[in-house]
Chain A
Amino acid sequence: MTETTSRATALPPHVTERLVPALAGRIQARVLVAGTGDPVLFLHGAGGLIWDPFLEALAAGHTVYAVEHPGAADTDALDQLPGIWELVLFYDEVLDALGLDTVAVVGHSFGGMVAAELAANSPRRVSRLVLIAAIGLWRDDAPIPDIAGVPASRMPELVLADPNSPLAELLTPPADDPQALFEAALRMASILHFVWPLPDKGLRGRIHRVAAPTQLVWGERDALVSPVYAEEFAGLLARSETVLIPDAGHLPQLEQPRLVQDAVLAFLDGPAE
């Protein structure tokens, strides 16, 4: 709870936090909202919801709704969400509660998996889809490493093209602070709840339903979710374009912010088909 508060306090003044009821009020979704313009739903990865420069750039020309995956602060919420199916329905309800009939969806990593599932479940609801280093598919020839099964000290080299970049601090909570480590573990647990032990929960069998034009954004040096998965998604989607980002790993939107912002904004604001 303190973590949630401190993250909330750190929000810039133009970002508002909304608590949106879902599942008949059994869970509240925490949503960060900022900007004006066409709505964009952003779904974060295993690092948790942080108002970062990428969201700031999206908010320059859009109304951004960044939703925190449920269970990050209190795993009891996960009792209500036994699997990916219920999570997708949760997001469908959150969109209802936000009054968003159709929306562009941008998802990173696990958030990309949820975005693709949402677009497959509600194809008429998702106008455009951006998948950044998304999980959700599995190839035996390119196994995605087990982020729970490696020492925390190895995370920077798995996630970043430059493990010595200042972004590494985001990935490694202070080793001498058990409470901070536990809060980070809970955030991670709320993601792993839906993808343990392998991030393959059947998206391959549902992804053909996606109607939205899709942009696939991948770091060329993503050591966690190899760029071969961009090809894999492209092969399963009716309409997609792929943007490979040089000198970027699994966090391309933070490692090469300008390249990713320019590509994503151009795609979101591109002409209707």
Chain B
Amino acid sequence: MKSIFFHLMPYRDLPADFESRYESIWVTPPNTELCDPAKVAQYYDWNLDELELADRLGFDGVGVNEHHQNGYGFMASPNLMAASLARRTPNNSAIMVLGNTLALYAPATRVAEEFAMLDVLSKGRLAAGFPVGTSMDVNFCYGVTPTETRARFREAEELIIKAWTQPGPFIFNGKFNKLRYVNPWPQPLQKPHPPVWLAGGGSVETWDLAARRDYTYSYLSFFGAKFGKKLMDGFWNRMAELGVDRNPFRAGFAQLICVSETDERAEQEYLEHCSYFFNKCLHIPAHFMTAPGYRTRKSSEFAIRTNQPGELAAVAALEKNWKTLVDEGFIIAGSPATVADRLIELAKTLRVGNLHALLQIGSMPHELTKKNITLFAEEVIPRIRHMWDSEGWEHKWWPKGAANRSATRPAASQA
């Protein structure tokens, strides 16, 4: 299994009464009241140090993503962070940008260009994430009409792939992107193009795209395998219907993880930061989650059937109930052995070969984050790295220039 240290880059010092004083962590948390640029300068240093540490310690990849006006992740441009990482990850981890929110950019040529720059800069280590994007980012922060969200995503995806693979200049006559001359310099280093990693919260249309284009799909959930199972079962059932194989590397999952020396110690060290995450970082009112028209009828019907665990998570954290958080699977926490066992169980339950490990959680300070990363790298990764080897699948979506630390060893090299 591939382990990617995925950093949300949250504000680590929100006021204690944040969730009662403000309506939302996203879209409207007033920037001059809550976001101190001097503090952010410190966070950015810590965040990048943490990601660079993960590279040195042998993670397979380092992950960043895009959000806007969001207190739990204010990486408005993940490409800026990825550019810095491309130059400071000597151990050749994959640079996983998960991703650029395609629907925001017209012309989407900009994404094709910046991702190509990153791929070249990192010598072919880019995994190009294409999320549909949240309603908060796309509709509320960037003013994209909700009913256009998916159409803009699909058209941008088409344009970007063409820009990477067709000789330029060419004409692109889309609905939202009308271009007489598409001819980005450079095209990416990886051929035919960097692997595309779709990321989503479970829309059925995204799965069909994954199947049709042979992309890998990551479900970015904060609520663990117990709740993710319905959704990932939906994903695999759809793949089966479409005649797609069961290669576990087609799928990824995000998981909040806390590693310590013992299970008891994990609770002592991490509980307050998990509480901070669920209470403050996920303080998002329902009306921002889905602007009318953001979800199609098809996806909405699936969402209604599988329902959302958000409130339960918040309640569990409010009670500072470590047992609930752990038992419900919102977090995987404990000694390295406990964490590894539960991750293997999770990966088998969901059938995922890519783990986006969320190891900096909420208010978690720099030193504790480094401990979490270090214990994970040194004592968890070796226990989970080869869990899929016996099935013999090829990871077709791993960036070609990145170190392939968890590949199945070919028979020849074992001789």
Residues of A within 8 A of B (CB): 71, 74-75, 78-79, 82, 148-152, 178-179, 182, 185-186, 188-190, 192-193, 196-197
Give the interface SS of chain A, mostly helix, strand, loop or mixed. Answer: helix
A150 contact set on B, CB distance < 8 A: 287
| Interface hit among B45-53, B138-146, B203-211 | B138-146
Residues of A within 8 A of B175 (CB): 82
Cβ-based interface call for B87 (8 A): no
Contact (Cβ within 8 A) B145 A193: yes
> In the assembled complex, how far is the CB of residue A72 from the closest CB belonging to chain B, in whole angstroms?
11
Residues of B that sit less than 8 Å from A by CB: 27, 139-140, 143-148, 151, 175, 285-288, 290-293, 295-297, 300-301, 304, 307
Query: How many angstroms from the CA of A193 to the CA of B146 in the assembled complex?
Result: 7
Take A75-B297, A151-B286 as given contacts and tell me if A192 and B304 are in contact as well, using a CB distance cutoff of 8 Å.
Answer: no
Decide if A185 touches B292 in the complex (CB within 8 Å). Answer: yes
24 cross-chain CB contacts under 8 A: A75-B296, A148-B287, A148-B291, A149-B27, A149-B288, A151-B286, A182-B295, A182-B297, A182-B304, A185-B300, A186-B297, A188-B292, A189-B146, A189-B292, A190-B293, A192-B291, A193-B146, A193-B147, A196-B139, A196-B145, A196-B146, A196-B291, A197-B143, A197-B145
Known A-B contacts A74-B297, A75-B297, A186-B292; A152 and B304 likewise in contact (beta carbons under 8 Å)? no
Please give me the residue from chain A that is nearest to B288 by CB atom: A149
Known A-B contacts A179-B304, A193-B145, A193-B147; A186 and B287 likewise in contact (beta carbons under 8 Å) = no
User: How far apart sit A186 and B148, CA to CA, in the bound complex (Å)?
Assistant: 13
Known: A74-B297, A75-B297, A149-B140. A185 touches B147 (CB 8 A): no
CB nearest neighbor in A for B145: A196
Residue of B nearest to A73 (CB): B297
Inter-chain contact A193/B293, CB cutoff 8 Å: yes
Q: Answer whether A185 and B290 are a contact pair too, CB < 8 Å, given A74-B297, A196-B143.
A: yes
In the complex, chain B residues whose CB is within 8 Å of the CB of A196? 139, 143-146, 291
Known: A186-B293, A192-B145, A192-B292. 9 other contacts (CB 8 A): A75-B297, A148-B292, A149-B288, A178-B307, A182-B304, A188-B293, A189-B146, A192-B291, A197-B140
Q: A151-B285, A196-B139, A197-B143 are in contact. Are A189 and B304 (CB under 8 A)?
A: no
